[in-house]
Amino acid sequence: MSLSGHVDHLVIGAGFAGLCSAIKLQEDGETDFLVIEKGSDVGGTWRDNTYPGAACDVPSQLYSFSFAPNPDWSMSFSPQPEIQAYIQRVARESGVLDRFVFDTEMLSADWDDTAQRWTVETSAGTVTSTTLISGAGGLSAPRLPQIDGIESFQGEIFHSARWNHDLDLTGKRVAVIGTGASSIQIVPELQKVVGHLDVYQRTAPYVMPRGDRPYTRLERQLFKRFPAVQKLYRRAIYWGRETFVPGFTLEPKLAAPAKRIALKNIEKGISDPELRQKVTPTFEIGCKRILISNDYYPALDSDNVDLVTEPIAKVTGDAIVTADGVERPIDVLVVATGFHTTDLPIAEQIRGREGRSLAETWRESGMAGYKGTTVHGFPNLFFIVGPNTGLGHSSMVLIIESQVAYIREAIRAMRVNQYAAIEPTATAQQRWNDDIQRRMKRTVWNTGGCSSWYLDEHGRNTVLWPRTTFKFRELLSRFDVAAYDVTARTDERIPA
Ligand SMILES: Cc1cc2nc3c(=O)[nH]c(=O)nc-3n(C[C@H](O)[C@H](O)[C@H](O)COP(=O)(O)OP(=O)(O)OC[C@H]3O[C@@H](n4cnc5c(N)ncnc54)[C@H](O)[C@@H]3O)c2cc1C
């Protein structure tokens, strides 16, 4: 399909964020929109992360749309195929799929201040749009490690988010670089099939017990027949999770019981005292993402697994060499080194009112926006999962729904008041971010003694939201036009 012409709204990405935007735009009678997606299907994260063991680490009851409950979740933490099937089903049933253009990448977007619209180059042609809604994802672009000689490796190498399912790993010598959220799901699965597994750890994470269980048939029937019961159940999980916030943001001592549980998990899962020592974190719990697993530690304790904590010096044609000179031969290298988070590729592609890209703007002072959603200098741009919207304790779908609610309010205000363009003022944006960074100072992410992917090159946490999710929802519940510069419409292209 080739693209041309004008749409009122152009949405980038078909993950939870893009899909939520499409459904809610349609609900509001905004029918002139397109969603472009560089992949071949909806799902985003859940289309791409198909590695063995992939599952959510926030309970599925909460890690799903509030407006599309799923009584059929099989487990409290559902596996990837089920989440992907859920997103596909919601997309199908909501009747928005004819607005989606797959296998189409946004290459650049430039704000045209004369025409008051975005000119968007895509791999399928050029379109213009009144608003640009980015649902391009915060954990979407794989980050590859910069290791000497890695390009000379002759075996198979792939990122955890680009799993090579054609490769039979049975009996192979495999290395996994990284011990983050994806790695701890992958390692136990690999341990069962590979000949030998080396796990390269830079920093030991805290790993709590997973608390996973299958839902009984009775529970599922109950959810189906009495949706109010499922709603109550979801609410209980929601409030349970919100109680974690003070431990992260106000007083790390409140997280002491969680720390004890995580340390007990090491004792329970590992018998070798030296290995226990290696996996014991040296920073405060919560400073880096808290992980959950019942089988990661036992897998590390297995005979066919080595945890390597010596830094990697280089990769050769068939081995990894650590700083102490030890060479460990391998057939397959899995890089589980996360994603570009504070240097989002899409930020390079979007150029605002002054012709500067978001990336250029953000390189100077770090990622910043107003309410995590709009950005000064970038009129009519809405950025879902934008600066300081990430969570350490709960479901990102809650954040996405709050942001989409705000975007709907903004679009309604544009229609009703005949605004051609809206843009947050520099003052409003500055005030918003000053408040966030002031709150950040007290959080465990800044004081906990770790370096994490939450922090940018200036040491600022521009990824996480330092308050409760209900506060976020409240603050984004209405479009506050006083914080915006608005440009009145001079043509009749989009009547109210
Ligand atoms: C392995 C893994 C597990 C996770 N588990 C959880 C969890 O348990 N709980 C939780 O709350 N969060 C979790 N997350 C975070 C997760 O990313 C979010 O919850 C959520 O899926 C984000 O949805 P999204 O639509 O914003 O982004 P994504 O799902 O990343 O979707 C972005 C989409 O945009 C497309 N895109 C990007 N750039 C372009 C372009 N230029 N042109 C066209 N299309 C483009 C991508 O192809 C992708 O399909 C996890 C993330 C990962 C990687």
Q: Is 369 helix (H, G, I), strand (E, B) or coil?
A: coil
CA of 267 to the centre of ligand 1 (A): 34
Give the closest residue to 318 by CA, choosing from 175, 145, 183.
Answer: 175
**Probe ligand 1: pick from 90, 106, 140, max atoms within 8 Å of CB?**
140
Q: What is the pLDDT of residue 253?
A: 87
Is the CB–ligand 1 distance for residue 44 below 6 Å?
Answer: yes
140 lines ligand 1 (CB under 6 A): yes
- pLDDT for 496 equals 43
Q: What is the pLDDT along the chain (496 residues), one digit of tens a residue?
A: 799 999 999 999 999 999 999 999 999 999 999 999 999 999 999 999 999 999 999 999 999 999 999 999 999 999 999 999 999 999 999 999 999 999 999 999 999 999 999 999 999 999 999 999 999 999 999 999 999 999 999 999 999 999 999 999 999 999 999 999 999 999 999 999 999 999 999 999 999 999 999 999 999 999 999 999 999 999 999 999 999 999 999 988 899 999 999 999 999 999 999 999 999 999 999 999 999 999 999 999 999 999 999 999 999 999 999 999 999 999 999 999 999 988 889 999 999 999 999 999 999 888 999 999 999 999 999 999 999 999 989 999 999 999 999 999 999 999 999 999 999 999 999 999 999 999 999 999 988 989 888 888 888 999 999 999 999 999 999 999 999 999 998 865 454 4
C-alpha of residue 107 to centroid of ligand 1, in Å: 18
Number of residues that this document lists for the chain: 496
Q: Is the CB of 134 under 6 A from ligand 1?
A: no
Rounded to the nearest whole angstrom, what is the distance from the C-alpha of residue 439 to the centroid of ligand 1? 26
Question: Which residue in 281, 439, 457 sits closest to 367, CA to CA?
Answer: 457
- For residue 13, how far is its CA from the centre of ligand 1 (angstroms)? 9
- Atom number, ligand 1, closest to the C-alpha of residue 54: 1
The predicted pLDDT at position 495 comes to: 46
Q: What are the Cα distances from residue 442, in Å, to 47, 260, 407, 463, 484?
A: 36, 22, 30, 15, 30
Tell me the CA distances in angstroms from 439 to 206, 276, 442, one per residue in order. 24, 35, 6
Tell me how far the alpha carbon of residue 121 lies from the centroid of ligand 1, in angstroms.
22
Crossing angle of helices 16-27 and 396-417, in 10° steps, is 40
The structure's pTM equals 0.96
To test the pocket of ligand 1, the residue of 19, 21, 34, 45 to mutate (highest count of ligand atoms within 8 Å of its CB) is: 45
Q: How would DSSP label each residue in 309-352? A: -SPEEEE-SSEEEETTS-EEE-SEEEE---B--SS-HHHHHEE-
Please, where are the H alpha helices in 129-255?
A: 183-193, 217-225, 227-242, 245-249
Q: Is 15 in the pocket of ligand 1 (CB under 6 A)?
A: yes
Q: How far is the CA of 181 from the centre of ligand 1 (A)?
A: 14
Give 367 Cα–ligand 1 centroid separation in angstroms.
18
- pLDDT of res. 17: 98
Cα separation, 110 vs 254, whole angstroms: 47
346 lines ligand 1 (CB under 6 A): yes
**CB-based contacts of 416-420 (< 8 A; 24+ apart in sequence):** 416/496, 417/481, 417/486, 418/488, 418/489, 418/496, 419/486, 419/487, 419/488, 419/489, 420/116, 420/130, 420/487, 420/488, 420/489, 420/490, 420/491
Residue that has been written with the tokens 């009129």 in this structure: 379
**Ligand 1 centroid vs 40 CA: distance in angstroms?**
14
